[in-house]
Chains A and B, each alone.
Chain A
Amino acid sequence: MAFVQLEGLGKRYGEIDAVVATNLSVEKGEFVSLLGPSGCGKTTTLQMIAGFVEVTSGRILLDGRDITHAKPASRGLGVVFQSYALFPHMTVKDNVAFGLRMRKVPAGELQQRVARVLKLVRLDQHAERYPRELSGGQRQRVALARALVIEPPVLLLDEPLSNLDANLREEMQFEIRRIQREVGITTLMVTHDQSEALSISDRVVVMQAGRITQIDAPYTLYEHPRTEFISGFVGKANLLPGERDSAGVVQVRSGGDLTLSLRPEKIDLHEQNQGRLQGKIASRFFLGSQWLYGVSTALGDISVVRRNDGSTPLNEGTTVGLDGDAKLLRVLTVDEVSA
């Protein structure tokens, strides 16, 4: 039996289905991300688990216990909100201690647990500050500490990093993962950022229009996207026409009836007249560690990524040859739901 289990979970708002019959099992200690574009139902799903949104159909099981209609307070889950939702009139320490006070934890133990969790999120120096005196990243960590200190069975993170700037976001991704590993807590995170989902989760759940369309480990998800939407949403993808040859091997073929996906970093760039596809470099973007080339070919525009290995980059207008390993082509199914 999984630790957290969603059975046919659904939510209707009037005539609109926000979440449709969702099934999901999360193991104890696992870090699972719900990934999808805005309005896909991922936040609604999280809020149903937290108890802030009434469930229309289905069940939520926590460690075998049915919590579908339990009050948020009695579920005892740790929730971190997108806006952090700190109590502005309380110090960092009081914010973190709030959940323990509600549980009537004795003063001595309370002090100890607050100090321990503040150390864990590296905020022990800021215990007496007020939220408005802290930076975005620090507020984020207070929110995390406040949720963790009650030692909840499950941690729910609602877009926890979307209010931070890019550098800090990356730093906090690793920080959240470190803390999650250290505490060993079962975690569900909602995000619309695919790189965030890929880098810190054990498994990623892709949602689209209220439905789950793929559940896989990050690497599998990236290497084997099931649909056209997922291949474009998770990482960059070149969509190419193709068909199966007599031996059953998938090949790129103009006018073929299959849709194939090939990642930009898996395409080889050659000199002119080498490789199976000829093209001209139409655009060039410098990404620091990489160069992103847009190559116009008979099969349309194809993105190619080259590692910045210090050699001179190719100029726009250069004619190049493209090739790739047929084993890296992925056959996509047509999207059954529209995003």
Chain B
Amino acid sequence: MNTLAAVRQGRQGYLLSAPALALYISLLAIPLLLTLVLSFNVFDYSSGIKGDAYTLSHYSSLLGDPYFYEIFLRTMWISALTTLLCVVIGVPEAYILSRMGAPWRSIFLILILTPLLISVVVRAFGWSLLLGADGLVNQTLQAFGGSPMKLLYTPFAVVIALVHVMLPFMIIPVWTSLQKLDPAAEQAAMSLGASHFTVMRQVILPQIMPGVLSGTLIVFGLAASSFAIPGLLGGRRLKMVATLIYDQYLSELNWPMGAAIAVALLLLNLLIMLSWNRMIEGRYKKSLG
């Protein structure tokens, strides 16, 4: 019996994973559970949270109010558009990256990762400097005789900034699955009469689908729960679910309502991601293992 099997058989396995388990339980499981409990607590504007009284009213108002529908819908389409743009930009970028020569590949890979090294707040302010009413983009427009456009505090600003942040999360998994490709398969396809486009679409793309799938899951999940970018670039009126939760907690002080929205977002995210995963993986599981 090898060491791994011995560890599996004995109790050392639990012992060894205990620190990580403790961290997960104290920092993830317990707060999640508390949030779930909180979302059922009764809230009264004059006396605050009633810890011993429970109600479904937060969920029922969430389901009954078109105001919430609008924000949830906006969050979903902004996240979906961000994910789509990341696929459209990231997949070719990863492919080009995998085809680069020795010094350039590492340089560009680091360049792609640099956005992750800068604080998301700093980056969001950078975008607002660019897109603001007197920003660089509008100044340029005016210099060429155009009229200034409202760019900041629009979904456009939120999507463009989200794509900027999320792109590495798409490129890295796609790049990893590109590494596993046999370069001779492309040559084989070409020798059989396929054009470059056909090779891309019928040989390369199907093989990197697992990478694209992981990328879309990460990007969608992060975008749907993103807070700083919609908060800073969407402004007060263009709310997304995360900023809505923030408002409920800190402006309205209605913690149970905020908790209920957070739970709803978590469930919706889970539902979308799991069914997406099922749909794509089901198609490629049999062939790619």
Q: Which residues on A sit within 8 Å (CB–CB) of B284?
A: 89
Cα(A71)–Cα(B189), bound, Å: 12
Chain B hits for A132, CB < 8 A:
289
Footprint of B on A, CB under 8 Å?
Answer: 50-52, 71-73, 75-79, 81-83, 85-91, 98-99, 102-103, 130, 132, 143, 146-147, 150
Contact between A78 and B191 (Cβ–Cβ < 8 Å)? yes
Query: Contact at B288–A99, with CB atoms within 8 Å?
Result: no
| Interface residues, chain B, with chain A CB atoms under 8 Å away | 182, 184-185, 187-195, 198, 202-203, 206-207, 284, 286-289
- In the assembled complex, the Cα of A102 lies from the Cα of B189 at a distance in Å of 9
Asked if A77 contacts B191 (CB within 8 A), the reply is yes
Cross-chain contact of B184 among A81, A99, A146, A147 (Cβ < 8 A): A81
- Across-interface contacts of A147 in B (CB, < 8 A): 191
Report the bound CA distance from A146 to B207 in whole Å. 19
Task: Enumerate the 5 nearest inter-chain pairs by beta-carbon distance, A residue then B residue, closest first.
Answer: A99-B192, A85-B184, A102-B193, A85-B188, A81-B184
Which residue of chain A has the shortest Cβ distance to B185 in the bound complex?
A85
B182 near A73 with CB under 8 A, answer no
Decide: A102 and B192 in contact? CB cutoff 8 A: yes
Minimal beta-carbon separation of A60 from chain B (angstroms): 15
| B interface secondary structure, majority | helix
- With A81-B184, A89-B207 in contact, is A50–B191 under 8 Å at CB? yes
When distances are taken between beta carbons in the complex, the residues of chain A under 8 Å from B184 are 81-83, 85
Q: Shortest distance in angstroms between A201's beta carbon and chain B's nearest beta carbon? A: 22
Query: Of B184, B188, B207, which is in contact with the most chain A CB atoms at under 10 Å from its CB?
Result: B188
CA distance A98 to B289 in the complex (A): 21
**Known contacts A89-B206, A89-B207; A81/B188 CB under 8 A:** yes
- Residues of chain A within 8 A of B286, CB atoms compared: 130
Provide the bound-state CA to CA distance between A132 and B180, in Å.
14
Residue of B nearest to A76 (CB): B193
Chain B hits for A91, CB < 8 A: 287
With both chains docked as a complex, state the minimum distance between the C-beta of A252 and any C-beta of chain B, in angstroms: 49
Evaluate contact between B203 and A72: CB separation under 8 angstroms.
no
Alpha-carbon distance between A130 and B189 when the two chains are bound, in angstroms? 17
Given known A-B contacts A87-B203, A88-B288, A90-B287, A98 and B185 have beta carbons under 8 A apart: no
Contact B187–A88 (Cβ < 8 Å):
no
Q: Is the CB of B182 within 8 A of A72?
A: no
Task: Select the residue from B182, B190, B192 with max chain A CB neighbours within 10 A.
Answer: B192
Chain A residues, CB < 8 A from B203 = 87
| A to B CB contacts below 8 Å, 21 in the list | A52-B190, A72-B191, A73-B192, A73-B193, A73-B194, A75-B191, A79-B187, A81-B187, A83-B182, A85-B182, A85-B188, A86-B185, A87-B189, A88-B185, A88-B288, A90-B287, A98-B189, A98-B194, A99-B193, A102-B194, A130-B286
Contact A88-B195, Cβ < 8 Å, known A81-B184, A81-B187: no
**Given the complex of chains A and B, what is the CA–CA distance between A78 and B289 in angstroms?**
28
CA distance A79 to B289 in the complex (A): 26
For residue A72, give the distance in angstroms from its CB to the closest CB of chain B.
Answer: 4
Q: B198 to A85, Cβ gap below 8 A?
A: no
The smallest beta-carbon distance between B191 and chain A, in angstroms, is: 4
